[in-house]
Structure 1
Amino acid sequence: MEPVKNAKHEPDLELIRHADTREQLREGRRACQSRIEYLYAEMPIAAWTALVNDMHDEVAARAAAVCEKELKEAGYGPPPVPYALVVFGSSGRRESTPWSDQDNGLIVSDEASGHKDKYFAAFGRRLSDLLEYAGYEKCKGKVMCSEPAWNQTLGQWRHRLAGWHRDLSWENVRNLMIASDLRWIAGDPSLAAAWKSCFAHGLNESPETATAILRNTVRHKATLNILGQVVTERFGEHAGEFDVKYGVYIPLVNSIRYMALQEGVHETSTLKRLEKLTLLDGGNLLFENCQRAFLTALTLRASATYTLRNGVYSSSGYLPQTELKQKPLLYKLRESLTTVRRTHRALQRRLRFAEKGRL
């Protein structure tokens, strides 16, 4: 379902597109975000989420341009070879909230250049710092272009992807799942296209990868007890609250991603993956239930508490107890978690069948 856009709803993204300095970029993001948060109560969740991610895309693309300008002024010159700025995670799926953190990387051309390593190492560090200045928390898992593991030439990426397929350890499978949501933002789009082609080839050439991804997919925390009651956190600062991210959102994302990869669906958006899966198997009510549950998950993610410290946005990912006391919301959450549980059980059966076939 493509979100319906309405001109009167649109925030002024031109403030971001025309930003020439990091200060202008930060102010443009703040102004747009303020407008977007105001629109939350007026728009369908899918359309609102699309608007949020339009803003994030514009900020990231403009940040890359500002970094090029700053490096040129610092004596590095222009980019010595083509590159692509790409995003992963919720950004890759265009499902970020207004306060999501960074999940990005660089794909650098294999063209020869004497100082491209130095240039793009500096570019990656500067871009990550600039995005933090613009309000984006740095990724705790270090999936950022400032990290050498996520800032590589196309040839290095090919070698790394092949290594992940050869060694299907838990961490490597996690990286493959993160990588499967890659989406181009700025620079040379052909580099991102070549990367995605390499990724798809690796999946086709490594049958064991699909089973490893499925094994990772079916692991998630319990969210309903045997009485069908919502399971909240028992201890710590979030005691009594519900973990939206890992309780409902990530299990749905992972399950739908796995089914999409199995069917050769190349979309990164969860909703678009569901659309394609529904077209492939229109009689399957599971996909309709997953779509309804996923829209609820997006709504709940937008309701989670967040903070703004030193200009950086951060979300706890938890639904506060006050929200859980609202019966309509609690009913939708319980319905969504029932769908998560049914989907999880179906994939568990598929995993048992796959592993039995290996014996």
Structure 2
Amino acid sequence: MKSMNLADCNMDFSGIAVASSWNQLKERRVECQTHLQPLRLTLSISEWMTLVNHMHDLLTTKALDICEKEMKEAGYGPPPVPYSFIVFGSAGRMESTLWSDQDNGLIISDLFNEHKEQYFERFTKRLCDQLAYLGYDKCLGKVMCSEPLWRKSLKEWGATISEWQRDMGWEPIRYLIIAADMRHIAGDQRLAEAFKDLFYRGFKEVPELQYAILRNTVRHKATLNLLGQVVTERFGEHAGGFDIKYGVYIPLVNFVRFMALQLDVKETTTKNRLEKLISLDSNNMLLESCQKAFDMAIQLRVSTPVTVSDGLLISSNYISEQELKKKPIMLELRESLGVVRRTHRALQRLLRFAERRKT
């Protein structure tokens, strides 16, 4: 298939840039996702996801513009110092679906201004509220720039990252894993680059971090039984179904991220991480299997049933029991889960080796 561009797929995002209100911006999102849905049948999954995440980036950038304008109109003036709006999670990896929630943060310049803390506290609360209105649900884990933990000056971020890297407890390591997927969206990109430098410097200075990251990554919910059969949900509204996000997609993301951190690969997307890892170890058959399984996982994830609420899409990320009865889907799922099982065993071996070295 030839390389994709916006003209080839008749996808026009220009309406986002000219939206002047939250209502208009929400309308643009609904229009864009309506045009994007049928394109999934004609584009490769990689090309389609690129379009979807390009849309999200444009919507978020415009949301920041509108928010700045409203702050000015409310008497708070323009941003008192430069800032970088950053995203984590699937947005950071450019793997957001049409129904992803918020995972974001803010890096504020260290330039002195006595009003900057008050300004950005108000700004980020307004922003996260309006992003929720646009269809980006607030993060249940509160990984949002409206939370002080994820809204800091560059100097404060440096101290926080160093503290997480020294502590190496379960929660600080979880925060580091989240930070590993950081991606700049808008504002002063130099702040995001400085953040990355601080992040990766710690991995050189504290070698034990690899073990701590591995310990957090190796957790895994059984998805295949001893007979190689898919383990489905036993109870609740999704009984008989399968959670594609946490059963296949997230375990693959976690494995690839760990391998990238271990080999100092600074790519953010899972696709780019895999390509770089394979270039470093071309004989690693497991990494090549991960490439195919990851594409399958994304394809299955965006194919899960959706409902529409106020024009916006909602998905449980579950493949229904009825869909699992379709032979092609079950074959793809079992193949992907076989790769997930292999990655989990590889991580377990690395963990046992690391524990023996410690003793």
| TM-score (structure 1 length as normaliser) | 0.97
Cα distance in 2 for partners of 1:269, 1:328 equals 28
| Residue 212 (structure 1) aligns with | 212
Matches within 5 A, 1:111-190: 111-190=111-190
Deviation of 1:306 (Å)? 3.1
**Secondary structure class of the residue paired with 2:41:** helix
Cα distance in 2 for partners of 1:163, 1:340 equals 32
Matches within 5 A, 1:63-102: 63-102=63-102
Please say if residues 79 and 119 of structure 2, whose CA atoms lie closer than 8 Å, have aligned partners that are also in contact. yes
Q: Deviations over 1:21-67 (max 9, x none)?
A: 21221111111111011211111111111111000010111111110
**Higher deviation after alignment, 168-177 or 70-79:** 168-177
| Residue 306 (structure 1) aligns with | 306
Deviation of 1:286 (Å)? 1.1
**Secondary structure class of the residue paired with 1:279:** helix
Matches within 5 A, 1:200-349: 200-310=200-310, 313-349=313-349
**Secondary structure class of the residue paired with 2:226:** coil
Deviation of 1:310 (Å)? 4.5
Please say if residues 80 and 113 of structure 1, whose CA atoms lie closer than 8 Å, have aligned partners that are also in contact. yes
Cα distance in 1 for partners of 2:262, 2:18 equals 42
The AA in structure 2 aligned to 1:255 is: F
Cα distance in 2 for partners of 1:295, 1:102 equals 23
Please say if residues 248 and 340 of structure 2, whose CA atoms lie closer than 8 Å, have aligned partners that are also in contact. yes
Cα distance in 2 for partners of 1:211, 1:10 equals 47
> What's the Cα RMSD here?
1.5
Cα distance in 2 for partners of 1:304, 1:213 equals 31
| Residue 14 (structure 2) aligns with | 14
**Secondary structure class of the residue paired with 1:314:** strand
| Residue 58 (structure 2) aligns with | 58
Cα distance in 1 for partners of 2:299, 2:24 equals 30
User: Which blocks of at least 5 consecutive residues in structure 2 are unaligned?
Assistant: none
Q: Deviations over 1:204-235 (max 9, x none)?
A: 11112111111111111000000000011111
Matches within 5 A, 1:34-49: 34-49=34-49
Please say if residues 3 and 50 of structure 1, whose CA atoms lie closer than 8 Å, have aligned partners that are also in contact. no
Deviation of 1:3 (Å)? 6.2
Cα distance in 1 for partners of 2:5, 2:270 equals 19
The AA in structure 2 aligned to 1:219 is: R
* 4+ residue runs over 6 A deviation: none
The AA in structure 1 aligned to 2:112 is: A
Q: Deviations over 1:308-351 (max 9, x none)?
A: 33455432121111221111111011011101111110111011
- Do the aligned partners of residues 311 and 112 (structure 1) sit closer, same or farther apart at CA in structure 2, a change above 3 Å counting? farther
Cα distance in 2 for partners of 1:279, 1:298 equals 22
**Secondary structure class of the residue paired with 1:184:** strand
**Higher deviation after alignment, 189-198 or 169-178:** 169-178
Cα distance in 1 for partners of 2:2, 2:62 equals 25
Q: Deviations over 1:124-180 (max 9, x none)?
A: 111111111111111111111111111111111111111111111211111111110
| Residue 198 (structure 2) aligns with | 198
| TM-score (structure 2 length as normaliser) | 0.97
The AA in structure 1 aligned to 2:9 is: H
Please say if residues 164 and 176 of structure 2, whose CA atoms lie closer than 8 Å, have aligned partners that are also in contact. yes
The answer on 1:104 being equivalent to 2:104 is: yes
Cα distance in 2 for partners of 1:102, 1:90 equals 9
Please say if residues 137 and 314 of structure 1, whose CA atoms lie closer than 8 Å, have aligned partners that are also in contact. no
Q: What is the total number of aligned residue pairs between the two structures?
A: 359
- Do the aligned partners of residues 296 and 277 (structure 1) sit closer, same or farther apart at CA in structure 2, a change above 3 Å counting? same
The AA in structure 1 aligned to 2:150 is: W
Q: Deviations over 1:92-128 (max 9, x none)?
A: 0000100001111110011110110111001111111
User: Which blocks of at least 5 consecutive residues in structure 1 are unaligned?
Assistant: none
Q: Deviations over 1:231-269 (max 9, x none)?
A: 111111111110111100010000000001111111110
Deviation of 1:305 (Å)? 2.8
Please say if residues 99 and 136 of structure 1, whose CA atoms lie closer than 8 Å, have aligned partners that are also in contact. yes
Please say if residues 308 and 314 of structure 1, whose CA atoms lie closer than 8 Å, have aligned partners that are also in contact. yes
Please say if residues 173 and 212 of structure 1, whose CA atoms lie closer than 8 Å, have aligned partners that are also in contact. yes
Cα distance in 1 for partners of 2:308, 2:178 equals 26
Cα distance in 1 for partners of 2:87, 2:201 equals 20
The AA in structure 2 aligned to 1:314 is: I
Cα distance in 1 for partners of 2:198, 2:311 equals 38
The AA in structure 2 aligned to 1:38 is: P
Please say if residues 133 and 312 of structure 1, whose CA atoms lie closer than 8 Å, have aligned partners that are also in contact. no
- Do the aligned partners of residues 10 and 181 (structure 1) sit closer, same or farther apart at CA in structure 2, a change above 3 Å counting? farther
**Secondary structure class of the residue paired with 1:237:** coil
Q: Deviations over 1:56-92 (max 9, x none)?
A: 0101111111100010000000000000000000000
Cα distance in 2 for partners of 1:3, 1:348 equals 39
